[in-house]
Amino acid sequence: MTTTATPIVFTNVRIFDGSGAPPFAGEVRVEANRITAVARDGAHVPHENARVIDGGSGVLMPGLTEAHAHLTWPTSVEQFVPGMSLPPEELTLTAARNARILLDHGFTSAYSAGALGKRIEPALKAMIDSGGMPGPRLVASSLEREPPNDGALDPGKVDEHGAGPANVAAFVRGCKDIGAQAVKFLISGESALKPGASQQLLYTEEELMAAGEAAREHGLWLTGHAHAAAAVKLGVKAGFRVLYHCTYADDEALDLLEAARGQVFVAPSIGIIQATLDATPPPHFDMTHMKQDAAEVLARQKALVPELRKRGVRLLPGGDYGFPFNPNGRNAWDLKLWVRHFGYTPAEALHAATALGGEIMGQSHELGRVQPGYLADLLLVEGDPTADVAILQNRHALKAIMKDGRFHKEPA
């Protein structure tokens, strides 16, 4: 990442400001790590003492936010891993690689949805924040907690913990102690891995309320994997900030989400569903059940997302990337899927990934828009992603990537 104290002026660009409005011709000035001026309609920002970059009529837009990041899920567009398990040393280095890969693909922010190691993400965040390695702004998490079980994918078994409200609260406190900001619970199971599990609650109401109380006491955010309607209801009642999936939400759950729309975010996680349907596994790996489950989830989410949107619930892209058939680095695919399945326009999908991304990162007044005073997390895109959002799936179309006023990728 190039560090410079010289102001930067982007000229000859069309600006998508994150609001969802169409791009407009203009100029942008960056000083230190902030946007200091935006001009439109033939006006100019100050050019004095600045490095002027001709954007070639490309689109200048806010950096993207991945709202369901799994940096320790091992597979990426650069490295295929046939499973979910790596030795600790390799897992740590793979997480570092994945952080850089996300930034390479225009994701300047990432909200973690849980990790496969207890301290990897807090350490990774500290290294990124210090400038020691490239990566997105990161809301770091610890282990993805679930009760111990005999499942093939059981992040909870990495660290021993007991049942009951006191043990759940202690787990939350422990996450604070190691520097995590988000704490992930599997409130319900996952039918793709175990038939019928999505309808099974993994925690009692007392346990989740204890988690919520501990999180509020220690200034942490709770994140929940919640397919079942009962899981969604408990997540809202316990004060979870982010709920993933919400597949089987009933009318009562929808009403609770609507009432809490100023406090809760929902990420339907469509990427993993489409990837499952599209996957062509080797002969020895039978995905029949997973594909059947994915088809049901997709049908439900195609009805769920428009309803949540109508009720004003904040919805964010983020599709469980990092599995062998859904690699880290393909994250921008979610945006195209939102257009394809949920009825979003490209500009509306981009608004969710930028302006709403700033909100889920806890920086709504300084992240996710191209406005004076906002942090200079910017992408210079060849082509117009508000006309064809699939452009963002091609990292070579990203002519410049700026995070915090510094170029991760220099313009030519």
For the stretch 382-409, what's the b/e string if a residue is b when 16 or more beta carbons lie within 10 angstroms of its beta carbon? bbbbbeebbbbbeeebbbbbbbbbbbbb
Quote the pLDDT of residue 187. Answer: 95
| Domain assignment of residue 340, yes or no | no
What is the pLDDT, as a whole number, of residue 283? Answer: 82
Work out the mean pLDDT of the chain and round it to a whole number: 93
Report the predicted TM-score, pTM, of the whole model to 2 decimal places. 0.94
Separation of first and last alpha carbons in the chain: 15
Indicate whether 360 belongs to any domain.
no
pLDDT digits (tens, 9 = 90+) for 141-185: 988 887 655 544 444 444 556 789 999 999 999 999 999 999 999
Q: Is residue 346 part of a domain?
A: no
What's the domain range around 384? 8-62+365-409
The answer to the question of residue 353 being in a domain is no
Quick one: 39 and 123 in the same domain?
no
Residue 235's contacts (CB-CB under 8 Å, 6 or more residues apart) are 187, 208, 222, 224, 226, 243, 264
- Compute CA distances 94 → 295, 310, 330, whole Å: 31, 39, 16
Q: 112 and 21 share a domain?
A: no
Q: What pLDDT is attached to residue 146? A: 73
For residue 42, give the nearest of 10, 12, 21, 9 by alpha carbon: 12
Within this chain, do residues 202 and 162 fall inside the same structural domain, yes or no? yes
Contact, 358 vs 65, CB < 8 A? yes
**Residue 4 confidence (pLDDT):** 56
10-residue mean pLDDT profile of the chain (412 residues): values are 77 97 97 97 95 97 98 96 89 97 98 94 97 97 74 45 88 94 94 89 96 97 97 98 97 98 96 94 85 95 97 95 95 98 98 98 97 98 97 98 97 90
**pLDDT for residue 287:** 85
Q: Does residue 55 sit in the same domain as residue 80?
A: no
**CATH code at 115?**
3.20.20.140
DSSP H or E stretch at residue 337: helix 333-342
Q: What's the confidence (pLDDT) of residue 161? A: 64
| Backbone dihedral angles phi then psi of residue 130, each to the nearest 5 degrees | -80, -10
65: closest CA among 260, 377, 354, 400?
A: 354
pLDDT in the model for residue 158: 42
Same domain, 74 and 100: yes
Q: Are residues 124 and 228 in the same domain?
A: yes
**Would 2 be classed as within a structural domain?**
no
